[in-house]
Amino acid sequence: MRLKYVLSEVMVGLWRNVTMTIAMIITMAVSLTMLGASGLIYVKVAEMKELYFENIEVSIFLETEVTEEQKTAIQAELDADPLIESVTYVNKEEAYEVFEEMFRDSPDLLSAIDPEVLPESYRLKLVNPQEYEAIGEQYAEIEGVDQVVDKSSVLDKIFKLFAAGQNIALVAAIAMAVAALLLVANTIQVAAYSKRREVAVMKLVGASNWFIQAPFVLEAVVAGLIGSLLGLGALAGLKVFLFDDALSALQGLFAPVSWGEVLLAFPLMAAVGGLISAITAWVTLRFYLRV
């Protein structure tokens, strides 16, 4: 009976102030979408970092006037190095093929380059890819080596971009959460005001505090949960239209977002949405009803 009473009060409460309820739900939904998106980016970046840094390759480019003796010495040293799993030698012709492949859309550039000016190089696969920096330092100073290049600096730039995206989403999530919080507080105040007579009687005849507060708190929580459901819908939309469609050209660069990951963001969103609403409502009531 009491549960039924509380639930019907919640429904009546949400409906009585329906414009405010909708505002509350939309704000909550946007905030939670941002939160979910930032969570997804976080998970993706961690995954991609692992993927990229696991496969990082180091290339040692040789000076163009490198001598055969120097090459043999370098080759010998590389072969003996326990940190290096395998070594591939890339001669000028092979380097030019790679170059051709990379710039096949710019025939002018291609025709301007003579295969002879391209440096020979060694491509190294490391036993432990995390140690690329040590390798870089070790081989940069050897005679005949022009420079040691790894992809870490490029990767760092990409990940900085992701981190910036994540931060923007988080800031937007927090700003919207503040707006949502104020709306919840306001809605609860209006609800408590419109039920002030009932509340006064309930306090007078000794209704327990939770019984007086529960309908209001649940009203906010239900709005928060509906908001998180809408947020889930928005995330699903982002996946379908942004990641699967618009950004599908970058499929090789991005790790694809799976439905499982989108659904996994939901408990986070629902918990945050529900909790923020409940706490705000409860605190508001403590000030407003003095129960």
Partner 1 sequence: MIQLEQVTKTYPKASRPSLDNVSVAIEKGEFVFFIGPSGSGKSTIIKMLLHEVAPSKGRIIVNGKDVTSMRSWKRPAFRRSIGCVFQDFRLLPNRTAYENVAFALEVIGKTKAVARRVVPEVLELVGLGGKEHRYPQELSGGEQQRVAVARAFVNRPLILLADEPTGNLDPDTSIEIMRLLDRINRTGTTVVMVTHDSNIVNQMRRRVIEIESGRIVRDQARGVYG
Q: Which is nearer to partner 1, 92 or 203 (CB)?
A: 203
Q: Compute and round to an integer the Cα radius of gyration of the chain.
A: 31
CB-CB neighbours of 126 under 10 Å = 20
The answer to whether 221 and 188 are in contact (CB under 8 A) is no
Q: Which of 206, 249, 260, 287 binds partner 1 (CB under 8 A)?
A: 206
Opening angle at CA 22, ends 262 and 267, nearest 5: 25
- Show the binding pattern over residues 210-239: x = contacts partner 1 (CB under 8 A), - = does not: -xx---------------------------
By CB under 8 A, residue 157 contacts partner 1 = no
Span near partner 1 by CB under 8 A; candidates 41-49, 120-128, 194-202, 217-225: 194-202
Query: Closer CB to partner 1, residue 154 or residue 200?
Result: 200
- When asked if residue 193 is in the footprint of partner 1 (CB under 8 A), the reply is no
Nearest approach in angstroms of CB 284 to partner 1 is 18
Sole binder of partner 1 in the list 55, 88, 91, 209 (CB under 8 A): 209
Contact status: 201 vs partner 1 (CB under 8 A) = yes
Q: Among residues 205, 246, 249, 250, which is the contact residue for partner 1, using CB under 8 A?
A: 205
> DSSP labels for 133-201?
HHHHHHHHTSTTEEEEEESHHHHHHHHHHHHHHHHHHHHHHHHHHHHHHHHHHHHHHHHHHHTHHHHHH
Tell me which stretch binds partner 1 (CB under 8 A): 55-63, 64-72, 200-208, 260-268. 200-208
Run of H or E residues at 72: helix 68-80
Kindly tell me which of 204 and 249 has the beta carbon lying closer to partner 1.
204
197 forms part of the interface with partner 1 (CB under 8 A): yes
- The verdict on 200 binding partner 1 (CB under 8 A) reads yes
- Which of 125/203 has CB closer to partner 1? 203
Told to check if 203 binds partner 1 by CB under 8 A, we report yes
Token code pair at residue 220: 């906010």
2 forms part of the interface with partner 1 (CB under 8 A): yes
Q: How far is the CB of 209 from partner 1 (least distance, A)?
A: 6
Look up residue 124 and give its DSSP letter: E
Residue 160 CB-density burial (10 A; 0-12 exposed, 13-18 middle, 19+ buried): exposed
Secondary-structure breakdown of the chain: helix, strand, coil percentages, each rounded to the nearest 5 = 75, 10, 15
* Interaction between residue 202 and partner 1 (CB under 8 A): yes
Q: How many CB atoms lie within 10 A of CB 5?
A: 12
Residue 54 token pair: 């696991």
Interface residues with partner 1 (CB under 8 A) are 1-2, 5, 197-198, 200-209, 211-212
